[in-house]
Chain A
Amino acid sequence: MARMDVRSRNHVRVTGRAGAPVVMLAHGFGCDQNMWRLVVPALERHFTVVLFDHVGSGNSQLSSWSQDRYGSLDGYVADVLEVVGELALGPVMFVGHSVSAMMGVLAAAREPEAFAGLVLLAPSPCFIDDPATGYRGGFSAADIDELLESLDANYLGWSGAMAPVIMGNPDRPELGEELTNSFCRTDPEIARVFARVTFLSDNRADLAAVRVPTLVAQCSSDAIAPPEVGAFVHARIPGSRLVTLNATGHCPQLAAPEETAAAIAAFAGAAR
């Protein structure tokens, strides 16, 4: 892929201190790089900060999306590695929120030399309970089906009203400021596939392959990734550290930005 294409495909932005260690922030299912805006100011003081949108989210190039490439985590993992390679800033501290945590796990297993380390923020290697092994992901298969159905319903009532605006503007002009809910605007079809990738993936077996320094940062109460899931990730990644943030909910970077930024900065600073 041509040089500029990767940057515009993923709407890559690089801010912060040039020459400083690199922190790459990867948003999860739902929104886009705006999810990080409350932690970026604190990180910018000490790090080069890389922000990007997954293809199909935010200001990424919708035309680059295909069911074939993005029907599994592999396409997203390849994108992460391409962005890291394209920027050529040296090994990055990859901060992956939610589903992006597992993208970091897979990417670091594939090209460990590209990563200074991983911060897995509210990670879950598998959302669905597995009674056979006693694993508790927090949801039954029926629960996840219900989510996928509720996405359908929401897109009719809510996103349906704004999807035509987005889909009618393939060049994606900056409608952002006026458009309500613009941070989470997504093509409904893409969001449905991304929801499947997010909530049906099972990456438990991939955790053991991580060989880079890893911090598992979980919230004290998280309806999506409960504490025992964080503990599972910590136990399976050799030499990983576990911290439990005071933040509640699934998005500590919004609910408790100072605490989250401090945890990232401390780990990324120590890993230099």
Chain B
Amino acid sequence: MCETGDAADSRDPAPVDEEARFSELLEDSAEDLYEHAPCGYLSTLLDGRIAKANTTLLDWLGYRRGDLVGRMAFSDLLTVGGRLYHETHFAPLLRMQGEISGIALELKAADGSHLPVMVTSTVKTGSDGQPLLIRTTLFDARDRRAYETELLRARQEADQERDRLKLLNTTLQKTLLPPTLANVPGLDVAAHYHIASVDEVGGDFYDLFPLAAGTWGLFLGDVCGKGAAAAAVTSLARYTLRAAAVYDPDPAAVLANLNTVLNHEYQGTDPRFCTVVFGLLTPDPDRGGFRITLASGGHPPALLMRADGTADYLPTPGGQLIGALPDAHIATTTVHLAPGDTLLLHTDGLTEAHTTAAGGEDRYGDEAFLDFGHDLAPTTASDTIGAVRDLLRTFGTGVDDDTAVLAIHVPRSLSEEQQ
């Protein structure tokens, strides 16, 4: 017992001393904690007049207690912008919610300098629930404000860069499309290009242009990939097609020449290819309307909507991607466009569009597009393009690839229309 007692005696005094020292430290703690807290404390009456402020806040602002208490309102301590904000947001919210937290404001010190603070206020109510006064804590937010300003600047810079990129992409996209389509006597023509994302240049293209002796060339295609590299291929494909058509307007020959050019240009590890349909339009004086020969290299078939209200794809089976193989097989078909007929060329951005939300599994598909043609026929070029634009709009963000459409229509003569 004695031994253990001795042992206990020799150990006990130390904790007692520590407690006493700690308690000494805590003496007058409530008052000291308030006055020298690491944040500003402010008590105000409901009309905003300052009733009490702690030493920390007075030191920050360089005021004496008598300068503030009973003389100034909380909003008098704020910068003008802060005061307006206080009146239009802070005070109403505090009234309605009984508290408000984390508001960035700036205090005006006695020497005119500004101190950024984060402000939190609560309304103290009496036992009957009536508001009595407002308690506010203020934290020094100089570091935070500097950081926020830097963030804001970086965000503005990023926004500007983004706008610039969008402008560049949109401009580049425009240069890859004809500014206006050629006017073909006896033909009604319309086209539309849907940009899926302004963040990247798409690879779809089309054109319609005069060739020798009353014939016309037209094409619509889709370069594999997106961005600057795809845009370079698009540009090459466009001027190659235009030049090749002058050299030999036979549609299969035009695509064969494009195939050769792409094969020469992009060899080895960086193959570049596209799908494209090229058409040669010739007026048909005997039957009226036009004759069109279409050559396709792996491109979705054209949709023919006839004057009699029927609609069909014009298949060109076996046509291979242009630029992928040294000797791509190119399929052709020839059809007569009678007055009232409309031919629609499209890229697969349309038929591959998600019909539900973006990223969904359901795609619009070739069958639905054929039904669309059935519903539309007989139609005109501009009505067709209008209907496609409406259709794309219903997909919204479901269209995740660029889409190009080109429609040509042989108008009926006035006498035919009257019948």
- Residues in A lying within 8 Å of B, measured CB to CB: 28-31, 34-35, 37, 98, 139, 143, 146-154, 156-158, 180-181, 183-184, 199, 221-224, 248-251, 254-255
Contact = CB atoms under 8 A, between A and B. Distances in A.
Contacts of A180: 97, 101
B118 A147 contact: no
B85 A154 contact: yes
Contacts of A223: 75, 83-84, 86-87
Nearest to A30: B88
B81 A224 contact: no
Interface residues of B, number: 35
B226 interface: no
A146 B83 CA distance: 10
Interface in B265-279: none
A23 to B, nearest CB: 20
A31 B93 contact: yes
Nearest to B102: A158
B148 A254 contact: no
A35 B89 CA distance: 11
B87 A153 contact: no
Contact of A183 (B92, B104, B144): B92
A221 B91 CA distance: 14
A183 B95 CA distance: 11
A224 B92 CA distance: 14
A183 B79 contact: no
A143 B83 CA distance: 10
Nearest 8 CB-CB pairings of A with B = A150-B81, A30-B88, A146-B81, A147-B81, A143-B80, A157-B104, A250-B87, A254-B95
Interface string B245-278: 0000000000000000000000000000000000
Nearest to B86: A223
B341 interface: no
A223 B47 CA distance: 12
B396 interface: no
B145 to A, nearest CB: 7
B87 A158 contact: no
B399 to A, nearest CB: 19
B6 to A, nearest CB: 61
Interface of B: 46-48, 75, 79-89, 91-93, 95-97, 100-106, 118, 144-145, 148-149, 151-152
A160 to B, nearest CB: 9
A254 B96 contact: yes
Contacts of B84: 139, 147, 150, 199, 223-224
Nearest to A152: B152
Nearest to B119: A158
Contact of B82 (A150, A199, A249, A255): A150
Contacts of B118: 157
A141 B105 CA distance: 20
A64 B82 CA distance: 30
Contacts of B151: 156
A156 to B, nearest CB: 5
A139 B131 CA distance: 31
B79 A150 contact: yes
A153 B104 contact: yes
A121 to B, nearest CB: 13
Nearest to A220: B47
Nearest to B145: A153
B88 A255 contact: no
Given A30-B89, A143-B81, A147-B84, A153 B148 contact: yes
A95 to B, nearest CB: 16
Contacts of A183: 92-93, 96-97
B101 A251 contact: no
Contact of A181 (B80, B93, B104): B93
